[in-house]
Amino acid sequence: MPVQKKHGLFWTRSRKEALAAWLFILPDTIGLLIFVAIPMVLALSLGFFSVDGFGGYKFIGLANYYRMFRDPLFLGSLWVTIVYVLCLVPGLYVSGLGLALLVRQRIPLIGVWRSLFFMPYVVSLVVIALVWKVLLIDKIGFVNRVLEMIGIPGQAWLGDPRFALAAVLVITIWFLMGYYMVIFLSGLQEIPREYYEAAQIDGAKSWTMFTRITLPLLRPTSFFVLLVSTVSAVSGSQAFDIIYVMTNGGPANSTSLAVFYIYEQAFKFNNYGYAAAMASFLVVILLVLTLIMFAATRGGRFHLT
C-alpha cells in the first residue's frame, strides 16, 4: 500500500516563510500590475492609433512613430532631456555624496544639520516651485536684488533661454540632494571604521582614504544612486512640476523636456495616440539605459579588486 504523507509535513518552515513572503509582496504586485503594467501595455497599443480624445479611434500603424522622428519640437525636447540628464545625474551624485560626508562628521548639532538638508524633500514640489519663482522674478526678485547689491547685474533667470534650464537644474538638485544624502549616508555607515584606522596607521592621507577605501566600498550605493537618478531624470518625475509652475516649457522651449512635450500633446492638443507613441519610445530609452548600466556593472554587483 502507498505510504500516505501526513498533512503537517507539507507545511515545512521554509514553505511557510515562502508563503509569508508572497503574501507580503502580493499587494505591491497587484498595484504594479494594475497601475503600471496594464497602462504600459495599453499605451504601447494606443501608439498605433489616431485618438482624438472624444472616443474616436483609427488604426494608423506606425504613422505616429514616423511623425515622431520628423517632429522638430520632439527632437528638440529630446536634446533638452539629454542635457538635463547629463547635468542632473552628476550634480546629484556629487552633492549627495558631499553632504553625506559632511554630516557624517562629529560636529555640534549634527542632527539639526541633517534635518535641514533633508527638509526641502518633504515639501510639496509645487510649493517649492512657487517660492523659487518669486525669488527669481526679474529685477524685483530676491536673487537679483542680492546680486545687484554686490555689483552683479541681475538676469531674467526664467525668461532667458540661456538661463532657464540652468535655473531648473539648480532647483531640482537643491530639492533632491537631501534624499540622496540619506542614501549615501546609509552606505557610508556600512563601511567598517577599522579600514580607516588601519590606513591612518600606514600614513594615508584623507584623499587617499577617500579614493582607495570610501569610493570602492561605496560602489553598490553609487550604482543605486546613478540608476535611480538617471531613470528619474529621463522620466522627468521631479522636473515636471517645477517646469509646469515656473516656465511652462519656455522660454522658446528651452525647458521643454520630452515628458513635458508628451504631456502637452496628450492633454493640451488631444493627440493621445501620438503622445502614447512618444511615451513608448521614452520607455524603450529607459529600458536600454537600465540594461546598459546593469551590464556595465555586472548586474549591479561590484567585485572589488
**C-alpha cell at position 267:** 492633454
φ, ψ for residue 50, nearest 5 deg: -100, 115
In the three-class reduction of DSSP (H, G, I as helix; E, B as strand; rest coil), residue 235 is classed as: helix
Quick one: which of 32, 34, 66, 33 has its CA closest to 47? 66
pLDDT at 12: 81
pTM: 0.84
pLDDT at 300: 56
Q: How far apart are CA 67 and CA 255, in angstroms?
A: 22
- Residue 10 burial by Cβ neighbours in a 10 Å radius (0-12, 13-18, 19+): exposed
pLDDT at 1: 47
CA 276 to chain CA mean position, Å: 21
pLDDT at 112: 82
pLDDT at 294: 82
Under 8 Å between Cβ of 172 and 245: no
**C-alpha cell at position 179:** 534624499
pLDDT at 305: 45
For the chain, residues with pLDDT lower than 50 are 1, 3-4, 303-305
Q: Where are the domains of the chain?
A: 50-296
pLDDT at 206: 83
Q: How far apart are CA 245 and CA 250, in angstroms?
A: 11
pLDDT at 304: 44
Report the CATH fold assignment for 50-296: MetI-like fold (1.10.3720)
Residue given cell 502507498 in the structure block: 2
**C-alpha cell at position 193:** 571604521
Query: Which spans in the chain are helix H?
Result: 7-10, 13-32, 38-46, 63-69, 72-103, 110-118, 125-135, 142-149, 164-189, 193-201, 206-209, 215-217, 219-235, 239-246, 258-267, 272-296
